A and B are shown apart, each in its own frame.
Chain A
């Protein structure tokens, strides 16, 4: 702990200790954008959450666990992007959609970024069994949103004319606001944190075990 200089002669008498971590400038995050204006996306996107890991891990196993978790919760799983360029990077993008009636759609988005890919992998002996695992730096971004009046199966937006959009906005923000907040946005938000915990547990993170 750094000694604190006290009194007039404090600075002369105190022992100067060099902090182990070099303190850079204080950075305070800006306030988030207000969400009142967002069209068709109630409450704005769920606050994104990042999990970063550097070491040896089983990417194939983690992939399967996450997909199984999403499918068990009746999400429609879509892999929207996959880029594999060893040894530079692997990036994967997922959208998992779940319809709640004809008006509300809950979406979880997952973005993977794996750097320092070793195409041959690493052989590890786990519980007496040889297993091939991956190593490198993994970043997973979890986010989501609640979409009202979602697109139909042909990709056509509903309630899209000028009058209809204003009506929809009034309906979302003044008529069914509480219901959307409590049953959709909040519920989806904490469901994403359950997936967050599953990932941390699989990667054997020390800081796991959420109370929520």
Chain B
């Protein structure tokens, strides 16, 4: 099994109001494609309920940084009480959806994802020593890059849902959460 390190832990975004589900999905998909991530849709679920649709989507795209490390960003989207509504925009009737959206972001750094350095105990030991002492600066840089990417994705979705007036919600590294005064307030 490859080594997985949690970098961003449960960054949340909640929205209640009007939005277009198809465009939201395509915005997220487009962001991942433009940033060089490979697509992975773990689950896409739709339930028809009396009070509206319940939609749950889990995306876990990855991006290979080197042949040893890769970034994984997990996005869980839950939409509750979704109903179709028609609104007038610029004189045209547009079909959108109304409901509540909860989005949770988690980011991981996977090392040795092919499992080449875990076949024998000695290889495993070498990998551990290498990760902790030799390759540390590079791993730290990869983590910083991942935090930046996650924040960028968060800001993109926030802008799409028009939440720009709320300036909270910066991706914080999981290890830094122990000292909240360092990073200010997170969502």
Give A residues with C-beta under 8 Å from B. Answer: 1-2, 4, 6, 20-21, 26, 28-37, 47-56, 189-190, 193, 196, 200, 203, 205-212
Tell whether B112 is near chain A: CB-to-CB under 8 Å: yes
Residues of chain A within 8 A (CB-CB) of B80 are 20-21
CA distance A31 to B3 in the complex (A): 7
Q: Tally of A-B residue pairs with Cβ under 8 A?
A: 124
| Inter-chain contact A34/B82, CB cutoff 8 Å | no
| Inter-chain contact B45/A53, CB cutoff 8 Å | yes
B53: nearest chain-A partner, CB-CB: A206
Q: Which parts of B162-187 form the interface with A (CB within 8 Å)?
A: 166, 168, 185, 187
Given contacts A32-B1, A37-B119, A52-B44, contact A207 B22 (CB under 8 A): yes
Q: 8 other contacts beyond A28-B4, A48-B42, A207-B46, with CB at 8 A cut-off? A: A1-B187, A4-B168, A29-B60, A31-B108, A31-B110, A34-B118, A50-B45, A209-B22
Tell whether B30 is near chain A: CB-to-CB under 8 Å: yes
A189: nearest chain-B partner, CB-CB: B38
Residues of chain B within 8 A (CB-CB) of A20 are 80, 100
Across the interface, B115 reaches (CB within 8 A) one of A29, A33, A47, namely: A33
Q: Which residue, B39, B43, B60, has most C-beta atoms of chain A within 10 A?
A: B39
A21: nearest chain-B partner, CB-CB: B102
| Inter-chain contact B2/A29, CB cutoff 8 Å | no
Residues of chain A within 8 A (CB-CB) of B38 are 189
Residues of chain B within 8 A (CB-CB) of A56 are 48
| Inter-chain contact B1/A50, CB cutoff 8 Å | no
By the criterion of a CB under 8 Å from any partner CB, how many residues of chain B are at the interface? 52
Residues of chain B within 8 A (CB-CB) of A205 are 44, 46
| A28 smallest CB distance to B (angstroms) | 6
Residues of chain B within 8 A (CB-CB) of A48 are 42
CA distance A23 to B10 in the complex (A): 11
| Inter-chain contact B33/A206, CB cutoff 8 Å | no
Across the interface, B42 reaches (CB within 8 A) one of A1, A47, A203, namely: A47
| Inter-chain contact A36/B1, CB cutoff 8 Å | no
Given contacts A33-B1, A54-B48, A207-B21, contact A28 B42 (CB under 8 A): no
| Inter-chain contact B43/A50, CB cutoff 8 Å | yes
A46: nearest chain-B partner, CB-CB: B40
| Inter-chain contact A49/B9, CB cutoff 8 Å | no
